Structure 1
Amino acid sequence: MSAIAKAVEIVGSQTALAKMLGVKQAHVWNWLHVHKRSPAKYIRRISQATNGQVTESDLLKDHEGK
């Protein structure tokens, strides 16, 4: 499971995460299904949204080898 998928699971939905980040749900869907990672500029905020359950390091690992 990618770190972004884990983050969505923790916060409850794509819509909930999108609202926390100030983006549209469609952006989160694309991160999950097309890119398989979140944009680097959102990594810190995603980690904060999960209260550190998904770390910045976890999210950065999704970028390795891409």
Structure 2
Amino acid sequence: MNYCLITVYAVISLNFFAVLLNFSHKECNLSKKQKLLSTIVALVAALLWPITIPISYLELLQAKLETT
């Protein structure tokens, strides 16, 4: 069971990293330093997605409830 969860986490993390890296490399006006920083940010975001995505979703739900 744990191997299945680790595999799912790894697949989603790699996919998330690839998407973020693709977005950052589409920008043509970035210097080498900015590209390196965007790669580091994408790596950190990919590693921490299980924490950040649920928190962001809860914030969206809370904002929606406050507006209605």
Scaled by the length of structure 2, what TM-score is found? 0.27
**Over alpha carbons, which structure has the higher Rg?**
2
TM-score by length of 1: 0.28
